[in-house]
Amino acid sequence: MNPGVLTIYRWELRKLRAQKRTYLGLGAAAIVPIIFVVALVTQSGQPNDVAFGRYLHDTGLAVPLVLLLFGSVWMFPLITALVAGDIVAAEDRNDTLKTILTRSVERHQVFAGKALATFTYAILAIAVTGAVALVAGILASGFNSIISLSGTRVSATEGLGLVGLSLLFYLVPILAIASIGLLFSTVFRNSAAAIVGTLMFSLLVQLIGILPGLGGIHPYLLSTQFNAWQGFLRSPVDWTPVIRALWVCAIYAVPALIAAVLVFLRRDVAGD
């Protein structure tokens, strides 16, 4: 029997485990919340102009939420791009595409395995940040209730659930970024170009978002979807940004993935 996507996926994870960049990304995902909390503990001030910023000293639950806001500018896109931009291009760098494509696996299976491994890594990165931020935050500020964006007090346990839900939903735009990283990795065949390209894309979208006169397209920018989770922290839950994030992210991710697959299926695997 020929191996399938699952086999390729498992080996892609194994390859990620053997590479430094994986630990660089996950390490950053773990260290940034720690640095953030250390800074918080040693400083008396807090970022009041950011949602949940003023509660940072009151409850550890605010820490992951504030990090989600800060991280969307470039940290999470960069951590995601670090692997997404490399995973196809690395095969070009090592000239290994010819090696694996002359075994018994089809190109679309290889791509699927890589895409799944990329998503797995991105999910893991958010999970690591979330977990470390929660633990460090609770150690620093305690496991206390939090005030929702609608001004109602939410118990610590319920708040924890909402934080989990927010982290989970944060994955929607992150996976869109990962898809764009995959596309760039496939098209550029160069890790550095794909990683920088993905980051530039993410920053450019944010730039468009702050241009005056373009307020109308603001809800449809990828960068805006990084705030969609805030809908969960209103009472009652505001589903509008949540639903919109789902389809807007799909509009970014699906064409990118389709284009990447087509390029990958049709490309000549020739040495340079």
Partner 1 sequence: MPEAVPIEVRGLVKRYGELVAVDDVDLTVEPGDVFGYLGPNGAGKTTSLRMMLGLIRPTAGSVRIFGRDPQLSVKALEGVAGFVEAPSFYPYLSGRENLRLFAAFDGDGAAARIEESLATVGLAERAKDRVGGYSHGMRQRLGIAAALLRRPRLLMLDEPATGLDPGGMRDMRDLIRELSASGMTVLLSSHLLAEVEEVCNRVAIVRTGRVVYQGSLVDLRAQAGEDYVLRTTEDGVARRVAEIQAGVTAVRPRPEGGLTFKAEGEDAVSALSLALTESGALIRELSPRHASLEDLFFSLTEGDERVETRRESGEGGGDPAARAKEAA
Residue numbers of the site for partner 1 (CB under 8 A)?
1-3, 7-8, 10-11, 14-15, 18-19, 94-107, 266, 268-271
247, exposed or middle or buried, with CB in 10 Å at 0-12, 13-18, 19+?
A: exposed
List C-alpha distances in Å: 44 to 8, 37, 61, 132, 236: 50, 12, 18, 21, 33
List C-alpha distances in Å: 129 to 66, 83, 126, 133, 190: 12, 16, 5, 6, 28
Q: Token pair of 267, please?
A: 């490309």
Question: Taking the complex as a whole, how short is the minimal distance between the CB of residue 185 and partner 1, in angstroms?
Answer: 16
Nearer to partner 1, 98 or 218 (CB): 98
Q: Residue 267: what residue type?
A: R
Nearer to partner 1, 90 or 245 (CB): 90
C-alpha 241/C-alpha 170 separation (Å) is 12
Residue 153 φ then ψ, to 5°: -85, 135
The string of DSSP letters for 204-234 reads HHHHHHHSTT-GGGGGGSTGGGGGGGGGGGS
Q: Token pair of 143, please?
A: 């496991």
Nearer to partner 1, 48 or 266 (CB): 266
Picking from 128, 29, 37, the residue whose alpha carbon sits closest to that of residue 71 is 29
Nearer to partner 1, 8 or 205 (CB): 8
Question: Taking the complex as a whole, how short is the minimal distance between the CB of residue 271 and partner 1, in angstroms?
Answer: 5
Question: Taking the complex as a whole, how short is the minimal distance between the CB of residue 258 and partner 1, in angstroms?
Answer: 20
Nearer to partner 1, 10 or 234 (CB): 10
Question: Taking the complex as a whole, how short is the minimal distance between the CB of residue 190 and partner 1, in angstroms?
Answer: 17
Question: Taking the complex as a whole, how short is the minimal distance between the CB of residue 8 and partner 1, in angstroms?
Answer: 7
Question: Taking the complex as a whole, how short is the minimal distance between the CB of residue 252 and partner 1, in angstroms?
Answer: 30
Residue 235: left if φ>0, alpha if ψ -120 to 50, beta else—which one?
Answer: beta
Nearer to partner 1, 100 or 156 (CB): 100
Question: Taking the complex as a whole, how short is the minimal distance between the CB of residue 29 and partner 1, in angstroms?
Answer: 21
Residue 190: left if φ>0, alpha if ψ -120 to 50, beta else—which one?
Answer: beta
List C-alpha distances in Å: 221 to 21, 178, 217: 29, 16, 7
Question: Taking the complex as a whole, how short is the minimal distance between the CB of residue 14 and partner 1, in angstroms?
Answer: 8
Nearer to partner 1, 16 or 61 (CB): 16
Nearer to partner 1, 57 or 107 (CB): 107
C-alpha 128/C-alpha 31 separation (Å) is 10
